[in-house]
Structure 1
Amino acid sequence: MLDLIRRSALWLRLLFTPGTGRRRAGVRLVVVPPPADWTETPPTALPAHRSPYGFDEHFDGAATIAVRPYLAAHEQRLRRRELAMAAMGLDMPGSYWIHGVEVA
């Protein structure tokens, strides 16, 4: 911890004293006012926003089958295991319909 007091004083001086402004001395911001007679046509208005929730259609939840993805994944895992075991010549108790094909 060499020169702790001097470093602290320098840090506080840099923190609390105003800058010199030397970096921006040559840069001047030039603001040009818009012309009095504007020649461009005004932009066209955007179409009215249509909310997807404002449709007049009513969906019947009872008409569709609710699929739980975790249950479908579990059933697919069981089917794949049964097929793998059948490929090795082992018979497993389970479903007799695998991928829409009746198996014996």
Structure 2
Amino acid sequence: MHDFIGRIAMRLRLLFNPGTGRRRAGDRLVVVPPPASWAETPPTPLPAHRSPYGLDEHFDGASTIAVRPYLAAHEQRLRRRELAMAVMGLDMPGPCWIHGMEVA
């Protein structure tokens, strides 16, 4: 930790002093036009759009059961609580079979 204060002062000077611009003085951006020998490539066509909404197939909503995940999680939580209470010997109102085990 030699010359700790000097190093801090140097870093602060580099941080807060404006730059001199010496690094960029010689660099100039040169724009070169593309050679005339390059040929324009024709754009490739996009594949056909395959949206499931544009299909002719009709889905029957009555053939599947709509499950609300928040309700299923709540029911599962209640069943687990009833099973835990039944293991401790407490009788809880609810179904007699929970997760395949007889509870009451």
Asked if TM exceeds 0.5, the reply is yes
Tell me how far 1:55 sits from its aligned partner: 2.0
- Larger RCO (alpha carbons 8 Å, 6+ apart): 2
Hey, what does 2:94 align to over in structure 1?
94
Q: What is the match of residue 83 of structure 1?
A: 83
TM superposition shift of 1:43: 6.2
* Rounded Cα–Cα distance in structure 1 between residues aligned with 2:98 and 2:85: 13
1:62 is matched with which residue?
A: 62
SS of the equivalent of 1:26 reads coil
- Quick one: distance in 2 between partners of 1:29 and 1:61? 64
Instruction: Give the structure 1 partner of residue 16 of structure 2.
Output: none
TM-score (norm 1): 0.60
Inter-CA distance 32–49: structure 2 relative to 1 (3 Å threshold): farther
1:12-68, Cα deviation, whole Å (9 max, x unpaired): xxxxxxxxxx74543322112222122696564332333332222221111111112
Q: Distance in 2 between matches of 1:32 and 1:26?
A: 18
Return the TM-score normalized by structure 2.
Answer: 0.60
Amino acid at match of 1:71: L
* Matching residue's letter, 2:32: V
**Letter of the 1:67 counterpart:** V
Identity across matched positions, percent: 83
Letter in 1 for 2:69: P
Number of positions where the alignment pairs a residue of Structure 1 with one of Structure 2: 82
Residue of structure 2 equivalent to 1:13: none
Unpaired runs of 5+ residues, structure 1, are 1-21
2 CA distance for matches of 1:90 and 1:58? 51
How far apart, in 2, do the equivalents of 1:49 and 1:32 lie?
40
**CA RMSD for the aligned pairs?**
2.6
